[in-house]
Structure 1
Amino acid sequence: MSGRSGIVILGIFAADTAYTAKRLPHIAETLLGSDFKLGPGGKGSNQAIAAAKAGGKVTFISRIGNDPFGEMALSAYAAAGVKANVMKMEGVSTGAAFIFVNEDNGDNAIIVAPGAAGLIGVEDVDANKAEIENAAIFMTQLEQPLEAAVHALSIAKRAGVTTIFNPAPAQTIPDEIYTLCDYVVPNEVEVAHIVGHAVETDEQARAAAELLLRKGAGCAIITLGARGALYHSAQQSAFVPAFSAGTVVDTTGAGDAFLGGFAAALSEGRTPVEAVRFGCATAAIAVTRPGTAPAMPLRAEIDELLNSGRTL
């Protein structure tokens, strides 16, 4: 990454509408919830804000509508220090997400409607080609169309930029994408979808990670919730424990927090395993707060938790 700087992220913004209740309603049933929150979200957007608050220099590529949710997005980027290379569209709504949060344990279930960001295409990537080619890190996911993600990863890989791919939400993806990825970072549900078997033990996690390497990925990192994360490459395989930062309130943005922290640490030249540890600390703080982007911790908070060594 010599001579390069910054993190470029392609993804979607979605306004998070989060409902807290005992359970999801059945069809034709109405339940009373115990809380509601509205705030900025979307995987790519969350990752961009997490990386910037963790100390990274971040550019975010996306599309939004010319509406109040779009203004929410731009305000969030301004507050976090994210450079917003975002197309504002007329006549198309900004993306939005329905989030159910279980009031007993903070677990979540999500429906995302990408809106304007669902129209992201190769033209958005080409318009930001120079920015991608000059970055230290490029990261993307699968909430925007797959074609745009593949095109951007291809540009970054050819330019020698370190690439991070978060295969989320889980879907069928072509094996060719893995050869474009220095780091593939799924969670345990997403990787189970990819490899076709459960990932409930350390042995299953290592087997899944090894399969991702055989598909062509440079390294595999599997996030495992309270079990931490597995870093697996041809040279090294290590489980990194989760940190304890307090009572878990909302796990919705945990993976995005991890990825933002990981990318920020990697862009500073930390070793991959150190960057995974930094990502675990970032996620541990985020889950003690409600919401997604608003829950992302500041750099000083992450450093304090890292120095404390409070692992689970």
Structure 2
Amino acid sequence: MDGAPGIVVLGGINMDLVTYSDRFPSPGETVVGHRFLTYAGGKGANQAVAAARMGGRTSMVGQVGGDLFGPQLLDGLREAGVDVSGIAIDGGETSGIAVIGVDGSAQNRIVQVLGANSTCGAAQAEAVASALTDASTLMLQLEVPIEVSLASARKANAMGKTVILDPGPVRPIPEELIELADVITPNETEAAALVGFPVDGHGAAERAAEELLRRGARTAIIKLGSQGAIFATGWQGDTSTAFPVEAVDTVAAGDAFNGALAVCLAEGRSLERAVMLACAAGALAVTTTGAQDSMPTRAEVVAFLGR
């Protein structure tokens, strides 16, 4: 991978426990499902795998716990081509887990326990700074303590690196983190939480992007799932075309989007082209079950666009 762009990902590493049922239960109700799977996930780890499969030279920084899931999570990242030297083991914590329900329309509901992700601290910020010396881009989400992400974003900014912030899962964040983001990539729910009004279509997404630019982000991309994405900078704004596919599992589609976006921007591609490739990667991800397992390769994305 000589010459491949260097990508550093600071974020969550989870084991996903997934149930499939025709519908979600109402409060107090038990619904009988028809399938159960476990697979490696976590927004940070998913995005690291996505970037590696898109051709990025990718390093992951984070923590796993001292339980049986820890070694499995590390092995999966290594097999995907991710450098795991920046991942620590917190023997006093469980690994992060996500309990995911998927219904008959391929929508999902997720309950997350952060575990070792929540004990990331100064050591992880130092690992990010070290890894960034040989990389161009830092990818952040909100599954590790905000203080660690903020310190890492400050360092990346001071080093002249690109900071891509995926503000999920929804939680309060300091305005400074938005200001440090070269690119911010919320989905509709996350965008609504950030801007304080519903984001339920292209028009609202455009207003949300404008608001995020006003608050300091250099580029705002609102991920709209099956409707594509809205993107805007101080000099360019547009909509990326959606790619119709038969959705099987929407888990981690946004992570596929972000991994592809980071690599394409790091390669120097235009924002419009990078967003289109990212939309294609996200579309491909929903056609396969799993989180990291559903992240497409560069060859698959190129073939998909050329069909």
TM-score of Structure 1 vs Structure 2, range by shorter chain: over 0.9
Percent of residue pairs identical: 39
Q: Which amino acid aligns with 1:298?
A: T
Asked whether the equivalents of residues 97 and 111 of structure 1 are also in contact (C-alpha less than 8 Å), the reply is yes
Q: Counterparts of 1:221-300 in structure 2 under 5 Å? A: 221-244=221-244, 246-300=245-299
Q: Which amino acid aligns with 1:307?
A: G
1:55 corresponding residue in structure 2: 55
1:74 corresponding residue in structure 2: 74
Instruction: Please state how far the C-alpha of 1:268 moved relative to its aligned partner.
Output: 1.6
* 1:305 and 2:292 aligned: no
**CA distance in 2 between partners of 1:265 and 1:5 (Å):** 9
Asked whether the equivalents of residues 61 and 127 of structure 2 are also in contact (C-alpha less than 8 Å), the reply is no
Instruction: Please state how far the C-alpha of 1:68 moved relative to its aligned partner.
Output: 2.0
Instruction: Please state how far the C-alpha of 1:87 moved relative to its aligned partner.
Output: 0.2
* 1:100 and 2:101 aligned: yes
2:65 corresponding residue in structure 1: 65
Q: Counterparts of 1:110-121 in structure 2 under 5 Å? A: 110-121=110-121
2:40 corresponding residue in structure 1: 40
**CA distance in 1 between partners of 2:204 and 2:92 (Å):** 47
TM-score (norm 2): 0.95
Deviations 1:242-280 (A, max 9, x none): 223x41000011111100111111122211221111111
Instruction: Please state how far the C-alpha of 1:4 moved relative to its aligned partner.
Output: 9.5
Deviations 1:203-236 (A, max 9, x none): 2111110100010000100000111001101100
TM-score (norm 1): 0.94
**CA distance in 2 between partners of 1:146 and 1:161 (Å):** 19
Instruction: Please state how far the C-alpha of 1:130 moved relative to its aligned partner.
Output: 2.2
Worse overlay, 127-136 or 30-39: 127-136
Asked whether the equivalents of residues 133 and 161 of structure 1 are also in contact (C-alpha less than 8 Å), the reply is no
1:145 corresponding residue in structure 2: 145
**CA distance in 2 between partners of 1:134 and 1:57 (Å):** 10
SS of 1:128's equivalent?
helix
SS of 2:17's equivalent?
strand
- The unaligned stretches of length 5 or more in structure 2 are none
Instruction: Please state how far the C-alpha of 1:114 moved relative to its aligned partner.
Output: 1.1
Give the RMSD, CA atoms, in angstroms.
1.4
Q: Which amino acid aligns with 2:227?
A: R
Sort the Cα spacing of 1:189 and 1:128 in 2 relative to 1 into closer, same or farther, 3 A. Answer: closer
